[in-house]
Structure 1
């Protein structure tokens, strides 16, 4: 297998000699699912029942915990359902039914239309739509990273109904991250623009469609109340993404944490408690003022 240094060197050469070929390679890397590993897994003590779904010919694997109003857990890119395992026991104890499923080519699930080892945001959204069709509307959805964007897409397409949303470390807009991807991998604008064009061809829409702040205005029904939680030291998604979403979402509140990063935030007790409290609160949460967007939670 080529080293990262060799891949970057090859991209630098292709940037000048064959940007079209570089764009095809970059697009393939963009949709390739990284190894999620098990470092961030949390195993619930609540007994879970196996859950399987067929989606686009692929088998999706998950678990169903507890009884009561349904809460869906949606992991992020390169994640798996066990990354959100810390939410299961508190939600079950609060009287909820919790459903967590691995997206296509993630965790224990098989591939979808994108093929083995690959996936797209639309396949994440299709999973949520399939869950909603099979199980019913969600009392709440707890989502992480790109899973937040997929949740917003499913809501916008009216394929998912949810009473409340918790977005942890969300990505607000794909477009800036194509530049970050180019910087990390080592190619320039000639390859990046071709990569973006190929991405848009694959999903059959402009990347502007996935801009989460603007989705609140495009939804036919009022968007559900939203709690955003983002860590200042998140190196995968920017805390400003949550600020942008909070500014555009009519009923939202934002908590900024410190010291948890992008994945450890999912098992932080303070974060889990706040999310569960938000989900169990009957009345809508107040909209924070621009001068006081939220409060802080620090890692101990």
Structure 2
């Protein structure tokens, strides 16, 4: 959406909050959690056509999974917001060349997975359901896929996972939420209402959902990669995660942006997996 449209929606909800702050906050959270893209287009379908497709049921929801079968380590891939498994095209051939057993999933309300709304907690539950079935040794998560991976490891302590790679991951939900509020220009009524919805829905305050804090108890080895020019998730988030994640290595890049789709990183990722 253009900045004009974004600010117009924010202004409309601010006006609505004068009548009913709860209604305006509910509309604001629904907007925040509803991806505008992430389903497959025809070109993206071509990328996943070579995979073995399987749905996994979780709480009456179907989780779309894709497998490129190999004899090596099982690697589980998690994409980010408004994306899908096709985002991994840039690295798939290199992972296949290592004969890894590659598994990927689509997040809630993304790709071929069920749902109309998304949140990182539900995503972490999707990851747990898929991990139970395929027993991955390595997790690779991009952006909120990295955050959800950390949430999953923190809450479920996946015993099969020995290594975790976080690409441009947010350090905490507070930052993500604040950037959304600021982008929309929400007033204090809506801002407070959004925080109240999170507390009621998850029985935890927004500040609780900190990937950086959660990594402190994760024993799996970590590789944290973040770009200095990331315009979506601040570089400082990567630094914070790496500082808290004691059993991790930090790779700082310049010029790769939030996507981090650069072939120079692939050998480093593979070396980390193989070591």
Q: CA deviation at 1:15?
A: 5.0
**Other-structure match for 2:148:** 150
Distance 2:168 2:18 in 1: 36
Q: CA deviation at 1:62?
A: 2.2
Question: Are 2:51 and 1:48 aligned?
Answer: yes
Question: Are 2:76 and 1:82 aligned?
Answer: no
Of 86-95 and 239-248, more deviation after overlay is shown by 86-95
Distance 1:276 1:42 in 2: 26
More helix by proportion, 1 or 2? 2
Distance 1:89 1:156 in 2: 30
Distance 1:209 1:174 in 2: 8
Q: CA deviation at 1:43?
A: 6.3
Do the aligned partners of 1:228 and 1:254 also contact (CA within 8 Å) in 2?
Answer: yes
Residue 54 of structure 1 aligns to a residue whose secondary structure is strand
Do the aligned partners of 2:14 and 2:24 also contact (CA within 8 Å) in 1?
Answer: no
Do the aligned partners of 1:61 and 1:109 also contact (CA within 8 Å) in 2?
Answer: yes
Distance 2:24 2:45 in 1: 39
Pair 1:156–1:196, CA change in 2 (3 A) = same
**Other-structure match for 1:247:** 243
**Other-structure match for 1:260:** 256
Q: TM-score, normalised to structure 1's length? A: 0.82
**Other-structure match for 2:14:** 12
Q: CA RMSD in A?
A: 2.5
Q: CA deviation at 1:87?
A: 2.5
1:22-74, Cα deviation, whole Å (9 max, x unpaired): 21211111211231366995966994211221122122222101312210001
Residue 250 of structure 2 aligns to a residue whose secondary structure is strand
**Other-structure match for 1:172:** 171
1:193-219, Cα deviation, whole Å (9 max, x unpaired): 1111102222232223321221133x3
Unaligned runs of 5+ in 1: 112-116, 282-300
Pair 1:85–1:203, CA change in 2 (3 A) = farther
Do the aligned partners of 1:104 and 1:119 also contact (CA within 8 Å) in 2?
Answer: yes
**Other-structure match for 2:75:** 71
- Give matches, 1:126-275, under 5 Å: 126-136=125-135, 138-161=136-159, 162-217=161-216, 219=217, 222-263=218-259, 265=260, 267-275=261-269
1:123-154, Cα deviation, whole Å (9 max, x unpaired): 11111111121112x22111011111111111
Distance 2:14 2:61 in 1: 37
Unaligned runs of 5+ in 2: none
1:243-299, Cα deviation, whole Å (9 max, x unpaired): 001111111111122222222x1x311122221221112xxxxxxxxxxxxxxxxxx
1:220-244, Cα deviation, whole Å (9 max, x unpaired): xx52111111112211111101100
Distance 2:252 2:269 in 1: 13
